[in-house]
Structure 1
Amino acid sequence: MTTSTGLADPWPAPRARMPVDVDVSLPGSKSLTNRALVLAALADGPSVVRRPLVSRDSTLMVGGLRAMGCEVDTGRDDWTVTPTSLRGPATVDCGLAGTVMRFLPPVAGLAAGRVDFDGDAHMRRRPVGEVLSALRTLGVSVEGDALPFGVLGDGAVPGGAVTIDASASSQFVSALLLAGARFDSGVDVRHAGPPVPSLPHVAMTVALLREHGVDVDDREADRWRVSPGPIAAQDRTIEPDLSNAAPFLALAAVSGGTVTVRDWPRATTQAGDALRAILAEMGCEVGFTEEGLRVTGSGAIHGVDLDLHDVGELTPAVAALCALADSPSHLRGIGHIRGHETDRLAALARELGGLGADVTEHPDGLSFRPARLHGGTFGTYADHRMAHAGVIVGAAVDDVAVADVGTTSKTFTDFPGFWAALL
């Protein structure tokens, strides 16, 4: 079978027959790009987003903002965002983008008119109800509790205090903070429930808000207060997507070779920066060079015991390495990734197990024991991170084919071509 993109489905994953020695330049961060676009759309003047991620997720964000009347010029490498009076009626296609589904409803509350939201079939199972309930508490009329839903904006949001359970996704917090300065009374978000996952992403949101001149008080645990006021226009250069670096750096470990990711920031709020410590613990040599971050594999991959609660998006790539490791591994603290693009714990256990991995699924993680893997088809469930796991295993094991590898376009246009060229 051949897909509309011309790719075979399932796609034969290239095997690394010898140690690689490559430099890669990665697309911009999805998390930074989509946050920057939202803040630029709510700012007090035009902003330029330089080196943005060009992918399905960022294109959907641009489409959603345009639908509500914002002007976004994507005709060049640098995108110019010119705020306008937001309005409806409008329809926002969320696709498979959690940031679009969760970040834009608070923006839609500021629009004059109805804004309807829907997305791909897989997206209708992802949680968003906490954001919508919070908006109701803050004075916004909302119809529905999951996709599809409608936000009936009247041009202003009263704002104020709200308590939510953000244990399913840190995006619930970020969604309210990003637009909170434009609410009449700002927003005071309290979390009540199990620990918030992926807190580095909330820290990223807070840092960006402050760079736009917004007053944010996060001194108290599980509480974030955004004061009402303008969001200053700000030009921004987007860092490379460090989470998207996972399969490439994993290739160094799998092949016993060297991979350098260019322009890796020395200081960042991106969760993907945790890859440096993780890969070092798995036996790689990791260090900065003038070009970026260099990782060299040792020829062996060692098992690890890791709490990935704050960096759950790295789980698929790390799990693939654990399946190839020479000693046992345990990944924990990641029950929340069952609510990502798919139930990633169940999917990883099923697909890695199907290739021979000795893997045990737990309520909040996965355990691995060394096993000899074999070829087969690796399912992806419309999840780009699952595809990353599949190609990592395929680089080490003969005859692995990855289903729907084109799902990687969510955050990396032509990932299959780029990956194959490295091998």
Structure 2
Amino acid sequence: MTDQRTSPAETALWPAPTAPGRVEATVTVPGSKSVTNRALVLAALSSEPGWLRRPLRSRDTLLMAEALRTLGVGIEETVSSSSSATAADSERPGGEAWRVIPTALRGPATVDVGNAGTVMRFLPPLAALAEGPIRFDGDPRSSERPLHGVIDALRTLGARVEDEGRGALPMTVHGNGSLAGGPVEIDASSSSQFVSALLLSGPRFNQGVEVRHTGRTLPSMPHIRMTVDMLRAAGAKVDAPEGGGAPNVWRVTPGALLGRDLTVEPDLSNAQPFLAAALVTGGRVTVPDWPEHTTQPGDALREIFTAMGGSCVLDERGLTFTGGGRIQGIDIDLGEVGELTPGIAAVAALAEGESVLRGVGHLRLHETDRLAALVKEINGLGGDVTETEDGLRIRPRPLHGGVFHTYDDHRLATAGAVLGLAVEGVEVENVATTYKTLPDFPRMWDELLGLASGAGARA
């Protein structure tokens, strides 16, 4: 686990507010990072311009947009004029719609990936279609995150990649304007993004692409289903396992992608801390625009938090979640929804019974080693959390205040905020890291708890 707390901003401590009582609020959650960044890639590879409405504006999505601009793609920000725009749109920060104008991709260029898995993995296949060398680099932690699945696959498909044998950043993709494509085998056990990365650019490969996963496990399948659904919506022909295809094999036929007018769903995973607040305080939180049908992993929160003691209703207002006043432990496999683990672990640390979180060994390779970080930080507040081979065992203990370190990981920061609801004196280090996917989180949290103007109406 890499600990890079160096700058004043990173070492700043945010006093996590203790809930003054039951939370009662409506929380408008910004757009999905996963949808926004996939949509940007598909729009950049399309045969005609497209619109992306209500995009998430956060560090990860702005890195993706800037990277595509570096490769020559036009991305214009404007106020949405769609008839589907709502009054809430006018209150969202920044541009309300992005017009993406595809063009011939070009280098030389240098792409800053920050610590965004979607940028470091989705863009190398796209860079192989560019003319000229494209160098990829990012935050120090980015060089510790695995890229071998994408690098080895690109070489098999005909690309030239220089990584000095690291299987990680920094690296350079030497594009010549096209890529042969065809069949490729990869082990995506460490990240489903390896599969999505190849599928997203597959329609532009000369032979399309056939991706076969050879590993024992494949985490975060909902994200692959999201990729497949978005490809099909853009006009691509995709054969996938859930459609009767061979297990762990995906095929994308070469062909043109259509420019779309897409409205981005709220980020359901980023709704987690707010729903957790209802569970922890026995309160009620409504998230507007929660989709009835979605491929987002965060939709699993409805079932998970209900099993931990709450109840929910999905209607025309959105999703309304109500805490039952008591938190129950849970024994659950989170392999498909691993990104929810930090928030679930925080709630579990406040439960009445033991919890076992399984199937998330791959989290050791995320923004930080999330399993080790959760053990260290929750135990630092008096908890009793131990690592298992593929997850965590959490035995509730009385907790006390202290510093909750985040290791530049946005999900650790929101987990610390959840703990602070019930534990006085929790100070979250570098809460600003939430800007990665959830801009302005501290203000939203204050409004949720009635500690800022507009509280209880819209956060």
- Taking structure 2 as the reference length, the TM-score comes to 0.90
Deviation at 1:245, TM superposition (A): 0.5
The residue that corresponds to 2:87 in the other structure is none
1:370-402 deviation line (CA, Å, top 9, x unaligned): 210110000100000000110000011000000
CA distance in 2, matches of 1:370, 1:189: 43
What secondary structure sits across from 1:244 in the alignment?
Answer: helix
Letter in 2 for 1:168: S
1:106 to 104, 125, 143: 125
Q: Say if 2:25 is the partner of 1:22.
A: yes
What secondary structure sits across from 2:136 in the alignment?
Answer: strand
CA distance in 2, matches of 1:74, 1:113: 27
1:173-201 deviation line (CA, Å, top 9, x unaligned): 00000000000000000000121100000
Q: Say if 2:92 is the partner of 1:66.
A: no
The residue that corresponds to 1:33 in the other structure is 36
Letter in 2 for 1:163: E
Letter in 2 for 1:352: I
CA distance in 1, matches of 2:368, 2:206: 37
What secondary structure sits across from 2:204 in the alignment?
Answer: coil
CA distance in 1, matches of 2:289, 2:340: 20
Q: Say if 2:152 is the partner of 1:133.
A: yes
Q: How many equivalent pairs are there?
A: 422
Q: Say if 2:50 is the partner of 1:47.
A: yes
1:316-359 deviation line (CA, Å, top 9, x unaligned): 00000000000111000100111100110110011011111111
Letter in 1 for 2:197: A
Judge which range, 280-289 or 261-270, deviates more: 280-289
Deviation at 1:8, TM superposition (A): 8.3
Letter in 2 for 1:259: V
What secondary structure sits across from 1:104 in the alignment?
Answer: helix
The residue that corresponds to 1:166 in the other structure is 188
Q: Say if 2:303 is the partner of 1:303.
A: no
1:265-314 deviation line (CA, Å, top 9, x unaligned): 01000000000000100010111132100111111110000000000000
CA distance in 1, matches of 2:367, 2:395: 26
Deviation at 1:4, TM superposition (A): 7.2
Runs of 4+ in 1 over 4 A off after TM superposition: none
CA distance in 2, matches of 1:41, 1:417: 33
What secondary structure sits across from 1:33 in the alignment?
Answer: helix
1:155 to 177, 193, 214: 177
Q: Say if 2:60 is the partner of 1:57.
A: yes
What secondary structure sits across from 1:263 in the alignment?
Answer: coil
Letter in 2 for 1:73: E
Letter in 2 for 1:114: P
Q: Say if 2:213 is the partner of 1:187.
A: no
CA distance in 2, matches of 1:386, 1:194: 28
1:415 to 422, 438, 441: 441
CA distance in 1, matches of 2:332, 2:223: 19
The residue that corresponds to 1:273 in the other structure is 299
Mapping of residues 222-261 of structure 1, within 5 Å: 222-261=248-287
Structure 2 unaligned spans of 5+? 79-94, 450-459
CA distance in 1, matches of 2:319, 2:14: 29
What secondary structure sits across from 2:316 in the alignment?
Answer: coil
RMSD of Structure 2 on Structure 1 (CA): 1.4
Letter in 2 for 1:119: G
The residue that corresponds to 1:368 in the other structure is 394
Q: Say if 2:97 is the partner of 1:97.
A: no
Judge which range, 89-98 or 282-291, deviates more: 282-291
CA distance in 1, matches of 2:383, 2:304: 20
2:421 to 380, 395, 414: 395
1:75-94 deviation line (CA, Å, top 9, x unaligned): 43110000000000011000
CA distance in 2, matches of 1:197, 1:85: 34
Percent identical? 57
Q: Say if 2:408 is the partner of 1:382.
A: yes
- Taking structure 1 as the reference length, the TM-score comes to 0.98
CA distance in 2, matches of 1:224, 1:10: 46
1:25-69 deviation line (CA, Å, top 9, x unaligned): 010000000000000000010000000000000000001100100
Letter in 2 for 1:183: F
Letter in 2 for 1:332: R
CA distance in 2, matches of 1:194, 1:310: 14
Judge which range, 30-39 or 355-364, deviates more: 355-364
CA distance in 2, matches of 1:180, 1:288: 36
CA distance in 1, matches of 2:228, 2:334: 21
CA distance in 1, matches of 2:282, 2:317: 20
The residue that corresponds to 2:219 in the other structure is 197
Structure 1 unaligned spans of 5+? none
What secondary structure sits across from 1:43 in the alignment?
Answer: coil
